[in-house]
Amino acid sequence: MKFTHLGRTGLTVSRLCLGTMNFGPHTEESDAHRIMDTAHDRGINFFDTANSYGRDSEGRLKGRTEEIIGRWFAQGGGRRERTVLATKAYAPMGDWPNEGRLSALNIRRAVEASLRRLNTDHIDLYQMHHIDRDTPWEEIWQAMEVLVTQGKIIYVGSSNFAGWHIAQAQEAARARHFLGLVSEQSLYNLLDRTIELEVVPALQHYGLGLIPWSPLRGGLLGGVLRKEREGTRVRGAQAHASEILALHRDRIQAYEDFADELGTDPADLALAWLLSRPAVTAPIVGPRTMAHLDAAVAAVEIELDQKTLDRLDEIFPGHQPAPEDYAW
């Protein structure tokens, strides 16, 4: 495994981040524990979760994924000490007021609840799962500063923020002489490159690490057409994924053909491309099985030359930074 710093911090993390959203709804607890043990064996020390993960088909049992991780930590053996733990808060965890979003009250309650579920005394990277346009930055940063002082969180990150939100957050933090954000978790893959317009330039300017989620776009960049022909496609019933596949079928076919030319698995190629992008710290891989995890680890060793990168840009055109992308 290769390692890097998370943004401008001195924190060392693996170039792949283990996503845990499948733990509970799709992956049984015993299998999830084995996947986390194997991740450590493969050198992955960066794990991501959220307080809202783990709900069932009716939206209940929020927090179950954090509980699964907490019981894994409880087994000891240096599991917690060897893990850079990231979780998130924002989604409503109940029906009563102040059980969601980013008020100082909910931030305090959400951290305490996550600490209990995760069976730990601190969270290494505490992420805002979404922008809260109703809560002022002064309130958010004051709440985060208290948690840092108490030792309950160490770093703060964002998720699904626009470039302007990152600028707002960092300038407000600067005025308080606070470190502010150290990372942003965004949708980013060969099919979804919108963040190249303004989010990536903002991250580079402020020294934030980029943690891409859905690097394979729900499996669409993982050889979906080949699996379709072989009758092994698992997630084809998802309507949204099927709509995107219908819209981009020709591009995805060209992509899979190019991966065949390179002798590379499409999923590995998609991850390797992300690892070559500016500001990217670690794509989130969310394995449902051990085989998925082992397949993802191989991508870290792939080096893409400029000719390959240019061809990928031809298949999936990206963006220049704004405003050059749309203006002279």
- Cα–Cα dist 190/255, whole Å: 10
- The single residue listed with the structure tokens 């992420």 is 127
Per-residue pLDDT reduced to its tens digit, 107-126: 999 999 999 999 999 999 99
Per-residue pLDDT reduced to its tens digit, 241-284: 889 999 999 999 999 999 999 999 999 999 999 999 999 999 99
Report residue 239's pLDDT band, with 50, 70 and 90 as the boundaries: low
- Cα–Cα dist 28/14, whole Å: 25
- The single residue listed with the structure tokens 């000891």 is 76
Whole-number average pLDDT of the chain: 95
Q: What pLDDT, on a 0 to 100 scale, did the predictor assign at position 11?
A: 98
Cα–Cα–Cα angle for 111, 114, 120, rounded to 5 degrees: 100
282 within 8 A of 46, measured Cβ to Cβ: yes
Instruction: Return the half-sphere exposure (C-beta side, CA atoms, 13 A cut-off) of residue 8.
Output: 11
Q: Where are the domains of the chain?
A: 3-219+265-315
Residue 189: count of CB within 10 angstroms of its CB: 21
CATH architecture entry for 3-219+265-315:
Alpha-Beta Barrel (3.20)
Q: What pLDDT, on a 0 to 100 scale, did the predictor assign at position 237?
A: 44
- Cα–Cα dist 144/10, whole Å: 19
Query: Does residue 323 have a cis bond before it (omega within 30 degrees)?
Result: yes
What are the two backbone dihedrals, phi and then psi, of residue 307, each rounded to the nearest 5 degrees? -60, -40
Q: What is the pTM of this model?
A: 0.96
Q: What pLDDT, on a 0 to 100 scale, did the predictor assign at position 234?
A: 60
pLDDT at 148 over 70: yes
Q: Which residues contact 310 (CB under 8 A, 6 or more apart)?
A: none
- What is residue 23's DSSP assignment? B
* Exposure string over 248-260, b if 16+ CB within 10 A, otherwise e: beeebeebbebbe
User: Nearest CA to 127 among 115, 113, 144, 112?
Assistant: 144
Q: Which region among 15-29, 51-65, 175-189 has the lowest average model confidence (pLDDT)?
A: 51-65
Q: Catalogue the active-site residues.
A: 53
Q: Which residues contact 265 (CB under 8 A, 6 or more apart)?
A: 222, 223, 259, 295, 298
- Cα–Cα dist 184/53, whole Å: 19
Q: What pLDDT, on a 0 to 100 scale, did the predictor assign at position 231?
A: 85
Instruction: Return the half-sphere exposure (C-beta side, CA atoms, 13 A cut-off) of residue 270.
Output: 31
Please state, for a pLDDT cut of 70, what percent of the chain lies above it: 97
